[in-house]
Amino acid sequence: MAGYKLSASILNRRKTPGKMTDGLALSFRRNKDGSLTAWQRVKREGKESDEKVATLTGEVTQDWLQDVRARAYALRGLGASQSSNQVTFEVAWEDFYRAVTGAKNSKWSAATAVQAKARMLNHIAGSGLWSMPIQEIRSVDVEQALATVRSVRPKLAPKVLQLVGQVLSYASHDIKLEANAAKVLREKLKASEKPVRTEKLPAITDWAGLGDLLHRIETSALYPTTRWALLLQAYTAQRSGEIALAKWEEFDFDAGTWTIPRARMKTSDIEKKPYDQRLILPAVAIELLRKIPRDSDWLFPPRHGESDCITVEAFSQAFQRLGFRRVATPHGWRSALKTLANDAADEDGRPLFSERWVEDVLDHGVQGVQAHYTRAQAEKGMAKVLAWWGERLGQAVTQHRARPQLGK
């Protein structure tokens, strides 16, 4: 590899935005968000242009660097056929996988990453879809790629289809696609299926019931890490995955805030909300955080050392152990906040909060005029909702403790 002069350690040390030349017209650019993008200069139709080779959000490894150089070499040899306008599904999958499993702001747990990779390699890698340029992929191509898994393992097919859709959605941030072929196919399949009755996830939406639930969590014999995670979810109404993967570096105790990286949140929300979710926490949540020992980069390390943090499944399992199976789920805190905050009113019957504030706390997409509100306005509104929520939960659990208990 004569001509190359950058090593993985050199690239990792360079933290400020800027360009670094590797040799043979290959360069690396450190972006403002901290990610690193590799660019290769190629000649197409007599004109030179820089073509993106790959983007990495975590630490550079020597294997990744060698892979980038190999792909850049192929790009120089094949020219336009391997340009950014002709990225294959295989390359798009590799870029997506690096993004969601990178060391910084990893969206997936180790177990989820292994499972997703196995599904992709077992069911898609051997199909014609694997080598197709993503701009040429149509719903019929995705349908053909899924034909075997749909016939052999029909219950797994929707999960593989969802994974293909996530890859194409991620790629569309850099490459314009006419449509996400996987989403088109999913809508097509839904239209052809018979309607199926589905039940909503059970949730408790009254203050007395929430007081009972919160009291049971506080006084439970659950492993402390799990109990703290459940309490933080109760006070913030965030998704289980966002709680489980929380890191200390995301919290600013002076400002009383928690900034959740967008890369760890719903992929489908990235276009509507490309910025990180910043919550001004209620006092009760700050008080809870100060009780949690800092033995790891993560707030909630597992009881055993198989992974860096607890799993999402631990939340549901804890609810079942507490006796709330088919009564409430961890996701139910979100339903409760939305129901009760939207119903909250002052003495004159006027709503306490804008519906937009509640939706922002839950990180839901917004439409129309509301979408143009400034982030500063949204954060102030969200702070009011969470402060009220923390106070009302505190009152609910206090009232539950004061209530005479049966058998006592």
Q: What is the mean pLDDT of each run of 10 residues along the chain (408 residues)?
A: 69 85 82 86 72 85 82 63 64 86 68 87 88 88 91 89 91 81 87 58 91 94 94 95 93 94 67 77 95 92 79 91 90 94 85 88 66 66 94 94 66
Q: Specify the pLDDT at position 143.
A: 92
Three-state SS sequence of 304-351:
CCCCCCCCCHHHHHHHHHCCCCCCCCCCHHHHHHHHHHHHCECCCCCE
Strand order across the beta sheet in which 277-280 lies:
251-252, 257-260, 277-280
Q: Specify the pLDDT at position 104.
A: 57
Q: Which of these, 331, 308, 320, lies nearest to 238 by C-alpha position? A: 331
Q: Specify the pLDDT at position 196.
A: 46
Distance CA 240, CA 313 (A): 9
Q: Specify the pLDDT at position 264.
A: 78
Distance CA 158, CA 152 (A): 13
- What structural domains does the chain harbor? 8-192 (1.10.150.130), 207-402 (1.10.443.10)
Distance CA 92, CA 82 (A): 12
Q: Specify the pLDDT at position 363.
A: 86
Contact 380, 279 (CB under 8 A): no
- CA distance to 99, 112, 192, 213, 302, per residue, from 319 (Å): 32, 22, 36, 9, 17
Contact 278, 379 (CB under 8 A): yes
Q: Specify the pLDDT at position 80.
A: 39
Q: Specify the pLDDT at position 305.
A: 66
Q: Specify the pLDDT at position 188.
A: 85
Q: Specify the pLDDT at position 167.
A: 92
Q: Specify the pLDDT at position 83.
A: 43
CA angle 22, 25, 29 (to 5 degrees): 55
Distance CA 102, CA 170 (A): 15
Contact 314, 226 (CB under 8 A): yes
Q: Specify the pLDDT at position 325.
A: 85
Distance CA 355, CA 342 (A): 6
Contact 301, 309 (CB under 8 A): yes
Q: Specify the pLDDT at position 1.
A: 38
What DSSP string runs through 191-210?
A: HHSPP---PPPP---SHHHH
CB neighbourhood size of 180 (10 A): 21
Q: Specify the pLDDT at position 272.
A: 60
Q: Which of these, 155, 71, 58, lies nearest to 97 by C-alpha position? A: 58
Dihedral angle, C-alpha 167, 169, 171, 176, nearest 10 °? 150
